[in-house]
């Protein structure tokens, strides 16, 4: 009887320890990304002179694409999860501090830091949460998959709340009233919307978009910097180390993951080898579009339509319905797929996105209303819930034995998409109509190739098992090494599978 009580007490202590670890990690990420995402969504309006804000976002995501392929090996072999989180937060703090002044050289140089830091933080997050979930499951004698899904769903909500908080903070700091579209102000709105163009040689004063005064700018950056420093202190002082090489107990035997440098190299290269597979080739434009969508919304929609017509103080408030609908809609879309299949949800999201882009092409800012922008933002939130959910789900289903390579492609192409769409808004000769047209072309291409992919998937299901055309076409000399890496235990599979859960908004 005494032994049973001791065992129950030990389980409770272990459970409390794991939940404490989880909430400390969540607090670190909430504070850090409240600061970072607030500045990210303001870059095209806060640092508009010479398009430096858009250029910094493009550079940031270019480095993130490369770092996403290299960082996992560094975390696993060198730093571990805690100090990778600490390093990632510190790199984000450097970028936040660079926004005190509108200096192109300083901002572009600092953009490299969060690009690398984001890779450290999100890969560490996946490892840390999975390890905590497995310890929690072991203490309560439950299925690790259930606890992993629970912790990731909670973390997803915390992450979305950080985005909402960041936008509300920026709007409260800059708020001077919502008078432009709702009154007879003399602001020239004819150059807003589809007519707005890229970075000027001086600060943009077109329409309602005027630079904030230096005092307001200093206040906002100081608030964000304080949140970043708070996150760093919490991580250093209270975030406990968890074994980066931890593995689940299977049949009472512990599988310990050990990697040689050569195996790490093959692990990184597996993402590139996977690009030769026909299914991945059809899916790559969709992965690219996920980043293009984030860039279009965070950089161009906020600048050309919200900032230009309402002023910088409106950017955060207009973003609130977008992120709320995106956060609440994602789990709804996941459940809906069970009943309707992937294709209806995907094409519904694409159809709404295409309709919104066409509306933006014909929308007249001079006669526009505030609620028009709210409806546009809400529609973009719906598409952000539908399209990424389908693509991430399909990615995991198509490559069940190569999840690390598959989700490596997701991070790589998504970051490239963000970088590319951000960059095309920098030149003065490029206007909103050009950006919207490019986005429409990419979206239509994605829709067409997705249809082909679904057709191939259904055709493969009708083939006898083992005769999947894509599997045979994708074999190469590295497949044996990938097989060996796949035997390292189920932990890495769970980590990468859940990494996709947050990859839609990790930058």
> What pLDDT is recorded for position 221?
94
- Tokens encoding 91: 């790199």
Run of H or E including 103: none
pTM to 2 decimals?
A: 0.74
Q: What is the mean pLDDT of residues 99-105?
A: 86
Joined together, the tokens standing for residue 346 give 């995907």
Looking at residues 260-277, what average pLDDT do you find?
Answer: 70
Residue 351 lies in a domain: yes
Question: Where residue 330 sits, what CATH number does that domain have?
Answer: 1.20.1250.20
User: What is the pLDDT at residue 396?
Assistant: 67
Q: What is the pLDDT confidence band of residue 203, given thresholds at 50, 70 and 90? A: very low
pLDDT at 75 over 80: no
Question: Would 6 be classed as within a structural domain?
Answer: no
Question: In angstroms, rounded to a whole number, what is the distance separating the alpha carbons of residues 152 and 331?
Answer: 12
Contact by Cβ (8 Å): 407, 499: yes
What pLDDT is recorded for position 443? 95
Which of the 8 DSSP states describes residue 402? -
* pLDDT at 186 > cutoff 90: no
Look at residues 82, 156, 468, 177 and name the one whose alpha carbon lies nearest to residue 327.
156
- Res. 142 pLDDT band, cuts 50 70 90: confident
Tell me which residue has tokens 């009887």: 1
Phi-psi region of 349 (alpha: psi -120 to 50; beta: other; left: phi over 0): alpha
pLDDT of residue 6: 65
Residue with more model confidence, 122 or 431? 431
Question: Of 208-212, 236-240, 415-419, where does mean pLDDT reach its minimum?
Answer: 208-212
Q: How confident is the model at residue 479 (pLDDT cuts 50, 70, 90)?
A: very low
C-alpha to C-alpha distance for 225 and 26, rounded to whole angstroms: 18
Q: Which two tokens stand for residue 282?
A: 């059809």
Per-residue model confidence (pLDDT) at position 199: 58
Q: What's the pLDDT at 476?
A: 41
Which range among 83-87, 119-123, 355-359, 382-386 has the greatest average pLDDT?
355-359
Q: Is residue 124 part of a domain?
A: yes
Burial 70-95 (b: 16+ CB within 10 A, else e): ebbbbbbeebbbbbbbbbbbbbbbeb
d(CA 224, CA 166): 8
Spatial neighbors of 353 by CB under 8 A, at least 6 apart, are 293, 379, 380, 383, 387, 443
Mean pLDDT, rounded, of the chain? 77
pLDDT at 354: 96
Is residue 2, in this structure, part of any structural domain at all?
no
Per-residue pLDDT, averaged over 56-68, amounts to 83
State the Cα–Cα distance between residues 279 and 88, nearest whole angstrom: 33
Report how many domains make up the chain. 1
Tell me the Cα Rg of the chain: 23
What single-letter DSSP state applies at residue 255? Answer: -
333 belongs to a structural domain: yes
Angle, vertex CA 414, rays to CA 408 and CA 420, nearest 5: 135
Quote the pLDDT of residue 494: 46
- Residue 474: the pLDDT is 44
Residue 202, domain member (yes or no):
yes
Q: Which helix (H) or strand (E) holds 44?
A: helix 2-46
Q: Which tokens hold the place of 17?
A: 């320890």
**Predicted confidence (pLDDT) per residue in 334-383, tens digit:** 778 878 888 999 999 999 999 999 999 999 887 778 889 999 999 998 99
Predicted confidence at residue 208, as pLDDT, reads 58
Q: Domain residues for 293?
A: 11-503
Q: Contact 488/246 with Cβ under 8 angstroms?
A: no
Task: Note whether residue 268 is domain-resident.
Answer: yes
> Domain for residue 5, yes or no?
no
Task: Tell me which residue has tokens 């398009």.
Answer: 51
Query: Where is 185: in which H helix or E strand?
Result: none
Burial 138-162 (b: 16+ CB within 10 A, else e): bbeeeebeebbbebbeebbebbbbb
């Amino acid at each position: 009887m005494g032994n049973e009580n001791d065992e129950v007490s030990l389980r409770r202590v272990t459970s409390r320890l794991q939940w404490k670890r989880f909430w400390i990690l969540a607090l670190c990420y909430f504070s850090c990304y409240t600061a970072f995402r607030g500045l990210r969504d303001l870059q095209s309006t806060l640092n508009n002179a010479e398009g430096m804000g858009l250029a910094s976002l493009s550079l940031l995501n270019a480095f993130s694409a490369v770092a996403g392929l290299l960082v996992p090996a560094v975390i696993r072999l060198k730093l571990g999860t805690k100090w990778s989180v600490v390093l990632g937060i510190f790199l984000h703090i450097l970028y936040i501090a660079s926004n005190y002044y509108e200096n192109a050289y300083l901002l572009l140089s600092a953009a490299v830091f969060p690009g690398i830091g984001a890779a450290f933080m999100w890969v560490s997050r996946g490892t840390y949460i999975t390890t905590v979930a497995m310890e929690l499951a072991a203490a309560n004698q439950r299925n690790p998959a259930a606890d992993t899904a629970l912790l990731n769903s909670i973390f997803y909500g915390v992450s979305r709340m950080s985005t909402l908080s960041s936008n509300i903070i920026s709007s409260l700091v800059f708020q001077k009233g919502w008078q432009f579209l709702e009154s007879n102000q003399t602001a020239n709105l004819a150059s807003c919307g589809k007519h707005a163009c890229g970075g000027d040689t001086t600060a943009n004063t077109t329409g309602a978009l005027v630079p904030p005064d230096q005092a307001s700018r200093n206040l906002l950056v100081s608030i964000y910097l304080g949140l970043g420093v708070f996150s760093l202190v919490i991580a250093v002082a209270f975030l406990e180390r968890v074994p980066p090489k931890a593995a689940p107990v299977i049949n009472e035997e512990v599988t310990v993951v050990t990697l040689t440098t050569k195996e790490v190299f093959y692990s990184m290269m597996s993402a590139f080898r996977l690009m030769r597979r026909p299914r991945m080739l059809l899916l790559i434009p969709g992965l690219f579009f996920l980043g293009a969508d984030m860039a279009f919304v965070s950089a161009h929609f906020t600048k050309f339509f919200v900032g230009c017509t309402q002023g910088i103080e409106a950017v955060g408030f207009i973003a609130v319905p977008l992120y709320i609908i995106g956060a609440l809609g994602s789990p709804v879309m996941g459940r809906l797929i069970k009943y309707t299949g992937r294709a209806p949800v995907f094409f519904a999201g694409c159809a709404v996105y295409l309709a919104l882009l066409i509306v933006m092409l014909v929308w007249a800012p001079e006669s526009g209303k505030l609620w028009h922008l709210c409806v546009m933002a809400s529609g973009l939130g719906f598409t952000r819930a539908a399209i990424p959910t389908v693509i991430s789900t399909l990615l995991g289903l198509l490559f069940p034995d190569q999840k690390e390579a598959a989700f490596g492609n997701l991070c790589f192409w998504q970051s490239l998409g963000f970088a590319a769409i951000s960059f095309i808004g920098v030149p003065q000769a490029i206007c909103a109509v050009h950006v919207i047209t490019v986005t429409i072309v990419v979206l239509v291409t994605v829709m067409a190739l997705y249809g082909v992919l679904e057709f191939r998937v259904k055709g493969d299901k009708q083939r006898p098992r083992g005769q999947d055309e894509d599997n045979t076409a994708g074999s190469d000399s590295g497949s044996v090494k990938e097989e060996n890496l796949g035997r390292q235990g189920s932990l890495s599979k769970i980590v990468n599978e859940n990494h996709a859960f947050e990859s839609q908004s990790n930058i």
